[in-house]
Structure 1
């Protein structure tokens, strides 16, 4: 057999992780080209750090942990959820999602790769607020570090899945201002984000603990501020003793959102 007839070695197909990272890298480069978005992502958390000490946001306790808890909830709702709804809808209407899915990328890889830049900005904003609270001398050692991490991971997963589901009734990126409003209002008023749930009657507060964003806020507050949903101070053991309900509620919401989004998400626009 001559050299000309020797078949060339086939290249191994890229793994799912490599494909997802490649798409995430492309989406991140698009984000970095938008200087306004980058500047806002960096400046808004610092503005938040400067603003909150002038208000009474987040209840009682050390200011630094309250800043981070509030920033986590606000960022998940107003950045992660809203941005992903508009991004997914824009990509769908431009037929980008449909084209990417027709190649080697699976549906999950397309959605995750598209979401990565927003998720990175989410984490960066929370870290900036944490660093800012330390710089102004308001940081206090957390009661537990695992619970806030679970809140961040679970919160980003839930907001991503809710964003995917919300695209089913969002026809254009502009209409996302309306379609995302119900979750934004519920998260703002009923999650303990801006004020603790103990300001409500007991029965109402117990019901509000089952809203989507409340378990994220509750877990973050337990770990960072050492406070339960009704304002009681707890240590490490007490924080974990109070954690099962918000963990179960958050897990249930993630499961429901994953099931619904799988059934209702459309890869192409309605014609």
Structure 2
């Protein structure tokens, strides 16, 4: 109970700081839906490329892309900036001198991003069904599993990535590799079914691919237990590697 109380207290303080940082707040709240809308507008002719064969409409592709943008911008990019900022301001160093343990400090810092990402994904789903007339989720359990795994993977990778950034300004640059790789190969811009089989097999192993595949399968249905377990295991493998990297390379003090 004491650990949870400390995490909630740290999360409340971090949420207050996020509210004061208008740029970070706008990026977290506005950028994911705007990116999904812009992608929907820009690929309006993708049906000619065989999108119908995947069982997805263009609106459903944009919706699942919105889930991916939430994970990338709200969780990963926002948390990299937060960890770097708190490190350079010596906040993390001071927190380690108190009662909070290292996992509690990292979790408390990530809590606002987690809550915002869950709220945004829920809002996207409600808008998709209520406003766009899309079918509802076929397997909500897979959607929840994908969202939870996506948040965990992005949060742990954010802690790892923050070690490469020397300042808050450079934090935006170190998040680009995961963004570009996920945009190209994790099903955000192009469904894996439209990629050549060898390329799709490799892309399934990317960090965000398992979470997005579970969320897409949860929305559309048709994902068997074997495929779902495979995606879960891949996401857990990435989480395990990221946790090891955090323990090994995460920086608690400013880089000199």
Give the TM-score category using the shorter length: 0.7 to 0.9
1:242 and 2:227 correspond: yes
1:22 and 2:9 correspond: yes
Distance 1:196 1:79 in 2: 22
Match of 1:171 among 166, 190, 195: 166
Name the residue aligned to 1:144: 139
Distance 1:33 1:176 in 2: 19
Distance 1:35 1:172 in 2: 18
Distance 1:52 1:131 in 2: 19
Report the aligned-residue RMSD: 2.2
Distance 1:47 1:72 in 2: 12
Aligned pair count reads: 248
Per-residue deviation, 1:47: 4.0
Distance 1:105 1:196 in 2: 42
Provide the secondary structure at the position in 2 that maps to 1:171: coil
Distance 2:84 2:19 in 1: 20
Name the residue aligned to 1:130: 125
| TM-score (norm: length of structure 2) | 0.88
Distance 1:122 1:69 in 2: 14
Distance 1:163 1:53 in 2: 27
Alignment of 1:245-264 (within 5 A): 245-264=230-249
Name the residue aligned to 2:213: 218
Equivalent residues of 2:35, 2:69 under 8 A apart? no
1:205 and 2:192 correspond: no
Equivalent residues of 2:83, 2:159 under 8 A apart? yes
Equivalent residues of 1:148, 1:220 under 8 A apart? yes
Match of 1:115 among 100, 110, 118: 110
Any stretches of 5+ residues in structure 1 without a counterpart?
Answer: 1-13, 227-233
Equivalent residues of 1:64, 1:138 under 8 A apart? no
| TM-score (norm: length of structure 1) | 0.83
